[in-house]
Amino acid sequence: DAGITQSPRHKVTETGTPVTLRCHQTENHRYMYWYRQDPGHGLRLIHYSYGVKDTDKGEVSDGYSVSRSKTEDFLLTLESATSSQTSVYFCATQGADTQYFGPGTRLTVL
């Protein structure tokens, strides 16, 4: 699993509240990614990072922001959670071509 942890693993929150998900890696990989997984959609890229303080948008970035202040940590923030953001969120890191995934965070927005 390339030493990837995600926290929290489960979270229930209410519409309109801010939420931050954390991804931590121990592999010193330069590239990190946030995906969401929904039935019928597979894995869709939200944001990614190509270095400390270097981030870019993916295909479903609206309503999400990210930050990377050090190599090992990549944070995903939902500024004001909506029910459409109920999903399972996966972090991944990339070594060479290969992406390695964390265990996921199940987020429910009521």
Partner 1 sequence: GENVEQHPSTLSVQEGDSAVIKCTYSDSASNYFPWYKQELGKGPQLIIDIRSNVGEKKDQRIAVTLNKTAKHFSLHITETQPEDSAVYFCAASFYGGATNKLIFGTGTLLAVQP
Sheet of 4-7: strand order equals 4-7, 19-25, 73-78, 64-70
Binding flag, residue 65, partner 1 (CB under 8 A): no
Residue from 31, 67, 77, 108 in contact with partner 1 (CB under 8 A)? 31
The stretch among 19-27, 68-76, 77-85, 100-108 that binds partner 1 (CB under 8 A) is: 100-108
Cα–Cα distances (Å) from 33 to 13, 14, 15, 37, 110, in that order, read 23, 25, 25, 13, 26
Contact region with partner 1 (CB under 8 A), list: 11-19, 20-28, 38-46, 79-87: 38-46
Determine, following the binding rule CB under 8 A, whether residue 104 of this chain makes contact with partner 1.
yes
